[in-house]
Structure 1
Amino acid sequence: MDLLQLRYFRAVARTEHLGRAATQLRVAQPSLSRTIARLEADLGVPLFDRQGRGIRLNRFGAAFLARVDRALGELDDARTELADLAGSGCGSVVVAAENLAVLRTVLGSYLAAYPDVAVRLSQCSPEETATRLQAGTVDLAVLSQRLDRPGIAGRDLITEEVLLAVPPGHRLARRRRVPVSELLSEPFVTTGPDYWPRTLLDRLFAPTGRQPVIACEGDEPASLRGLVALGLGVGLLPAMARPSPGARVSWLHVDAPDCSRTLSLYWREGAYLPLSAQRFRDMAAERFAAIEDGRAPGGL
């Protein structure tokens, strides 16, 4: 068994498709098939169940993949750590978030301070973000949901009030505060259940025994303010969005306990975090602490 076999196996295991894995690895499919067959022969067990022309990872393959992920992850971390120690290269950092707008707070400063670092951003659902983090395909993840998974470490960046945004001319536009009881019939612009605005909305409505009226449900939190401004409905937005330029809305405080969200930064616990990612993590913590303390302006 060699490293090439392990990397080939991991690609096939993740895609469960020889053709796609071969394309990803830039090798011929027959060569990839022979490599997997030799690995299975060496291990003495099949790693995949063959179903016609398709393949499925079986229980042996799933157990082996967990070990291979850890082994290859350690080797990749070792290569990165040695490069950092030797001071060679400029490094890279891969950051995933459910809403890329929150990264603007730190991204400009980071790029100015480290212009030679290759920065890659990825926007995906909180569940997919967590999966990518655990798999080691991203260095850092920024989420507004608590991520309680084995092998994941994190720190809170900021806890901020969540406000109600209403369109111009709305019956509540001149109010400063509103209880949830006055919102029972209001149409809401919100996200799907996997994202924090919907989770918070459902929690606020739970004591009333009513379900919120959903006028729009999407997976792009950054678009909510514009849809509210168009008059489609009202929406819950973080206070950080208030000073941002863009669609005009009116802002109200919601009279409900803990109407807030906490933005947190996560990374793999115990794995080597590249120096470029360590710097991004530290700069993010400093930037958001300054916003929370009022020493720096917010805005998304």
Structure 2
Amino acid sequence: MAVDPFSYTLASTTLNAQKVQFELQFNLLQNSLINRHNEKIEKISTTPQSVENKIEDLSKRQRKLVDAVPALADFRQGNLNNKGALEKVFDEISTLFQTFNQDANVDADEVAAFEAQRDVVAQKIENLYVFTHNDINDGKVIQRLKQDVEAIRSLTLSVGTLTSNSAVSDSLTALQSEVGVAITVTQNTASTALDLQQSIESKFATIDADLIELTSDEKVRREQEINDAETVLGNLLRAISLSFEINSGLSQALANRLKPFTPPPGSAVNIIS
């Protein structure tokens, strides 16, 4: 049996040792590259401070708008309720007029009817709720009406001619005019509240769109940078592995040339040798 020459055996042994050494070095290098890659991914995954500040600012503005809507909606509904109540007060004042001005004289029955209806008007005004909002000025029409309650309750008719009670008629005319103004102001106030509410909702939608765009852009940026980093890492590891395979192939080819030629069994060269 032919024995391989020493040079071939030495080359093969060295080549095998190189393979083991490479595997070890490759694993160490691979782990090091992966660790650096993970650190880079962690850094990429962290939102830049400038973007975080923008997101936080938009979120604060959004929360402020959200917090403003319920109070504004309550204020608007409260004014709509007061408008309905004021319209009833207006009608009650008309009824109050009718208790005593059917003819030129005022009798005891009319005085009694007047006093009963007068108290109804005063009570309805007193029952009105006061709604306020820092961003809307309603002229305090409800507060002013409620301040008139005692004066309304003090109105008194006397039995006699209608003209002798003209002061009461004038007071009721002024009161009804004041209620009419309050109805208009309250309606306008409710409309203003609605406009402001719609404006807030529009601003909220704009901020929400900005947040979505900002976070989406940030997500795309992260994904792109992570994909790029993974591509670089993969290409680098493949290049290192391919380089070793090429060098290993060359070393193997050189080692094989050191091995003596052995003719195939049964060949002419084998028979001669």
- What interval of TM-score do these two structures reach, taking the shorter chain for normalisation? under 0.3
TM-score relative to the length of structure 1: 0.15
Which has the larger Rg? 2
TM-score relative to the length of structure 2: 0.16
Greater share of helix residues, 1 or 2?
A: 2
Greater share of strand residues, 1 or 2?
A: 1
